[in-house]
Structure formats: structure tokens, C-alpha cells
Structure 1
Amino acid sequence: MHSDENIHIGFLIFPGFPMACLTSMIEPLRAANEIVGRDVFAWSLISEDGNRVEASARVGFDPHMALSNVEALNQLYLLSDPSSQFADRQNSNGKLRKLARHGTTIGAISGGVFPLARSGLLDGHAASVHWCYAAAFAEEFPDFTQSTDVISIDARRLTASGAAAAFDLSLHLIENAVGAGVATEVACWFQHPMMRGQGVPQRKPTFAAESTNDMLPRIVRDAIAMFTDHLEDPLNIADVAREVGVSVRQLERVFQNTTGRTPLVYYRSLRMHKARQLLLYGNYTISEVSTAVGYASSFTLIKNYTEVFGIHPKEDRKKVNMFRAGNNRVAPLA
């Protein structure tokens, strides 16, 4: 539906937020304003306390206002690291809920789905979660509906999985406000190849290969799907081969040709990537992480983790904690 009214969008930024997600939202809106010759969109940067916020790229941003001073917005998007928490959770979450009650559409980009889910405002809604955060999100919010699409629009909850998806979401907002023609022109301005909407799945990298999951042969895709569904209770490779309708030898040959790894090594990599998500973005002990990816002992997890990532899991966690802001939750080292 087209409108001549100004659409005011707020971006609530947390320390360590991904800067690309912010610019990917704002730049298309700015271009749309230029193309139509009027300010269809306006935007404000918001932080919890109104103070300067440093992005993950160590670039500082000066917000226009504190969250407590926000009066009315058409839309508000949270941008953050997955570990981000409000310093004053009760009042800040209460403010978000008040804005939602008064008609503000609430959304999140990339890691911003975590503090949004913690606020309670995603209850009963689907959310787009970046594939690299999916395991940590599912572990913390097991009852939430997690979408693997690049963007999710569920009633008045809008979420985008990452920076490129944020650009797509902005194009969607532009199309709704001033038409598909302007949205297409904006996309062409930035040489954005296509506007992706709901129903378009995220592309995931194939470990150790120059490909993505959607480029793989059916046999390999089906096997990976089974692996992904059984990270906590590992399957026997022979059982997987039987389920996808090939011999173990054939499965190994196709896997080696397309991913550069055997099915067993690839399966282990999937389990280690889930383990890394839980270690870096969760509050779990190494023992708890071991159980979550199907290991009876922490010793085996540590050995495999070090082989895959070249660093001990405790050192990996220490490294990421060094860059977290003081108000963010720091994961334990036990």
C-alpha cells in the first residue's frame, strides 16, 4: 500500500553490533528518498542509554536518543551481537513492549534476534536466524519457530538474517511504500542482483569446498540434512548411506569429490561448528557443549575442536570475550 506519510524507523544499536547491517538498511532508504524526491523514510539511531556505541568494526556511532526517550516510531530494529543484553533489562524490555503495544512494528537484524527474543516480543512469531547462530539460538530458545529464510515477515515482526538480507528487507519496505519500480531502481543503483523475499532460503557454505549446500548433488544434500538433524545423537554412516539409497563406498566417493572430505569428517565438522556456536554465543560449560553435540566426554570434544579450528575451545572463548562490551554477558570458561 502506497502512502504519502513519512515512515520513521529506529535502529536500536548495541555495543559490538555489525555495522554492515545498519548501512544495508539505511542506504537503500536514502536512495529511495532521492529517487522519489521527498523524504518517504526517516530514521534515528537509538542506544539504550543514549551514549556513543562502538560497532564490531571499532567504528563509533552517536545515537540521536536514548531508548527511554523514544516517543513514537513506525518501526524499530534491534542490531546486536548474539550475546548482547540490556543493562537495565526490566525498564528497557518494558519500553520495547510499550512501543509494540502502541503500534510500532518490531524487528531485528542478524544477532539482534537474540535480545529481541529475550524481551519476549518474539513469542508466537517466526524469526529469521542466520545459519551461523542457528544452533545457539535453538539451544537458548528451544520453543521458538526458527526460519532458515533470508528474511521473515510474521505479522508485525520483521527479521533479517544478515547484512545482504537487511538490504532485501529495505527493498521490501520501499516496495510497500512507493512501489516495485522504485525498489527495482534502488536495487540497480547498488548493483544488488535481485530482491529476495520470504521463502528464499539462506545459502550455507560447504565446508572445505567452493560451493554451497544448494549446489550439491541430491545424495550429499540428503546426507547432510540427516547429519544436521542428528548432531546430538550421531548416526552411523552406513545407516545414512542406506537411507539415501547408495552404498557406503559410493557415498564416500561423492562426498570426497564435492566437499573434499569423507562423510565422517564432514559430519564431525558440522558437530564442531555447532559446538563453536554454543561456546561463543552461549553460556554453556564445555561439558554441556560436549553433550549437546553427542560426545560422552569433554576430552574428545576438545581434541576434535582443536583439530578443526586450530585452537583450544577455552582459548577460543577467551578471545571472543576480550571484545565484548562490559554490559554484555560473558561466557564461562569452565
Structure 2
Amino acid sequence: MRAAFYTKTGAAADVLELAELAEPVAGPGEVLVRIGASGINPADVKRRAGWRGVAIAHTRIIPHCDGAGEIVDIGPGVENRKTGDRVWMWNAQGGYSGPGRADGTAAQYIAIAASQTAFLPAALTMEEGACLGVPAMTAHYAVFADGAVEGKTLLVQGGGGSVAHFAIQFAVCNGAKVIATAGSPERADHARNAGAELVLDRHDTALAKRIMEETAGGVDRIIESEFGGNLETDVAVLKPGGVIAAYSSTAVPAPVFPYYTLAARGGAVRVIQSFGFSPEIRGAVAQMVSTMSASGDLHVAIGKTFELDAIAAAHEAVESQQVVGNVVIRI
């Protein structure tokens, strides 16, 4: 099979290779999937780059944890999947509490646990399905981990991002009012298209004041893409008993925590890592994706599509942060 891989960390153009590799075989509890599309997340490019000095976890890595495809074979013990099923998948490569799997979705085939797949709704293409794993699951947990959102006001920081795009849709579809921030007019439009009622400039030095004015007292929950960089604003606009649900802190990975300022509000911080989600959480996400897709309420935003042979350029596009929407590789 045709596959992309790397054997050392570094710049995309320097370490990513393409070659014919042996087609995998579905083992016990696994399905063999012919990949239709492979989604690229920031975590994928960080691992390939050796971000923060993290060493390569395997002798050879086929990158990307998210993807979508068609099941072509079933391993022993699999009862709830069959050949011909269209599925989307998660955690195909890597992990944060350990090395995780070596072989991800940047290949023509993958053997993966049936429990790491969900049925792809008929309304979604393979390319759209490849964008669901990390972004949709992270967004769903960030929005709903602390209960229903009907009637609540949510602040979605970095509203032009992929996780934020799903978070806004999930929240609005379930009765919440969403205020988002964005760093450019294009990303602001992206957040509005997802359903944000108000989008504010994240560079505004009076951002916290604007949010307090618009909400008449603050927000119930904050979906945070840059915890360390936005912490001062988040704490300032959080209602008493509110929650900051943070899924990244790339720019400030070791933030200084204002304990007593947050404590005065009785606020809480929830740190989110999608690799460790329980089957129950994943099942809830798959159900919401199916329901919203069927009703036409779910929009998957694809910013740019590449062929497998252009995987280095695809990684560079993600790293540039210039693409609005998900970056996908068509297999």
C-alpha cells in the first residue's frame, strides 16, 4: 500500500517520506479500513516536528490520528461492524499518556480496533468524516462535560479554529448563546457561520470589558484554545461558579495560575485531552454527529485538501495557521 511515514522528527519536508508498505491485517477485535481521507490536527504536526523536545515514540510512524474510510475486512471477534460500512476513526496514531499506536491514517489501509470507529453518516463525505475525530470530540466534551447548556452563555475563544467551529455548532444547537473571539475578519466570518451570535476581536485590549458589557455580568462557560495567553481575560469574565474548559495552551505552555482571583468566583478549570476519553463520551459524540448530520445542522468546514504525495505541504499548511477550516489529505 502507498503510505507516508517518518523515522525521525523534524521539518515536514525533511522527514516525511512516501513508499509502498505491506498492507496491514485485521487482528482480533480490529477492522481493516480502506482509507478515503486523512485529517490533520495540530497535534499530528507537533509530534512530527518533535515539539517541546518530545522524542519519536516508534521506529517508524505513519502520521495522523483521524480519518474516514470503508471497512474491507473484519478481524476475529468483531460483531458490530461489517465489510462495506463507512466509518470515521480516532486515536489511530499517537497518544499523550504513552506512545500509542504507530500507524495512523496517512496510508491507503489501516487495521484498527473496531471500538475506535463510528459509522459515518450518509450526509457526510469521506473528507468531512476525516475531520471529526479530535475536533468534534474535544468540542463536545468542552461544551457538555459540565452539564446542559440550554439558556447559558458560552465564550468560545479562537472561534475561527476547527474545535471552536464544532463547539459553536454543538452549543447553539442545544440552546446556548455563543460569543466568540477571532483574530481576523475571515475567521470572524467563520465563527458567525457556525452560529456565534457575536464575534469580538481577540486583539482588543478592552476585550474583557466588551464581554462584560455584552453579557451583563459574564459568561457561564469558556471554551479555551489558548489557556495561558487568555487566562487573565477568562478569569475576568467568568460568572461565579463558571467553568473554563481548556484544550490547548501552545503559546504559553506553563502559565502562571491566578488561584485566588479564580477562587473568588468559585470558578473551575477543566483541562481536556481527547486521547483519554471514555467509550461513553465517544458514543455521545458519535450520536450527536449522526443526529445533527441527519437534520442538516452540522457543517464540517474543510479549508484545504491535498493528495497524499503532497503531505509535507499539507503539514506546512497546518503549521502556518493561515488555513481557515480543516486540512485534509485525500487518499
Asked if Structure 1 and Structure 2 have the same fold, meaning a TM-score greater than 0.5 normalized by the shorter chain, the answer is: no
Structure richer in strand, relative to its length = 2
